[in-house]
């Protein structure tokens, strides 16, 4: 947490075990937080939403950047009630740059002309041990959100053509 708290801005995401039965919903299993140098994965299904994590989520001095944050914050609040502070929703930010896509995969491709793999999205995030592919996928989602945010802020007057290409 000390490393994360030194950052002024972090990327954030969550993963939840998918349910394939109607009416069955699982608690959020994993919280990913990326700084410029590292990504930290917190196994909420084993440690819960700790006081130090809640403190970070409520800290107004650290920007937390992610995509579809409403869903992530709802899922986290089902684990433990807290008052979120200083969250930046990339879907709203990207709209100001002419990016109309809503998925991280498409936004990342538009900005960086690179493809991200989503192959692990539907895997079991409550497995006793996460696979290297799961770890990479989870870390990449939080890191990509931070990278998108930083790139957009470095381009305050975007070329409409750059952000309209698919």
> Domain holding 103: CATH number?
3.30.420.10
Q: Residue 166 above 70 pLDDT? A: no
Domain that holds residue 96: 1-163
The model's pTM is 0.88
pLDDT at residue 77, rounded to an integer: 96
Tell me which H or E stretch contains 133: helix 132-154
**Cα angle vertex 71, ends 38, 107, to 5°?**
60
Mean pLDDT of 159-164: 52
Burial category of 106 from C-beta neighbours within 10 Å (exposed 0-12, middle 13-18, buried 19 and up): middle
Which DSSP symbol is given to 86?
Answer: S
For the chain, how many structural domains are there in total? Answer: 1
The residue whose two tokens read 């995509």 is: 67
């Amino acid at each position: 947490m000390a490393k994360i708290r030194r950052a002024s801005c972090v990327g954030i995401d969550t993963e939840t075990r998918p349910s394939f039965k109607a009416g069955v919903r699982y608690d959020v299993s994993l919280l990913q937080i990326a700084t410029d140098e590292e990504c930290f994965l917190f196994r909420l299904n084993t440690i819960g939403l700790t006081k130090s994590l809640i403190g970070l989520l409520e800290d107004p001095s650290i920007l937390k950047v992610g995509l579809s944050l409403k869903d992530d914050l709802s899922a986290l609040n089902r684990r433990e009630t807290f008052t979120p502070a200083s969250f930046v929703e990339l879907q709203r930010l990207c709209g100001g740059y002419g990016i109309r896509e809503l998925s991280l995969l498409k936004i990342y491709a538009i900005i960086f002309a690179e493809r991200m793999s989503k192959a692990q999205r539907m895997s079991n995030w409550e497995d006793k041990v996460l696979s290297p592919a799961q770890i990479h996928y989870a870390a990449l989602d939080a890191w990509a959100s931070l990278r998108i945010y930083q790139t957009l802020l470095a381009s305050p007057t975007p070329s409409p053509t750059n952000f309209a290409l698919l």
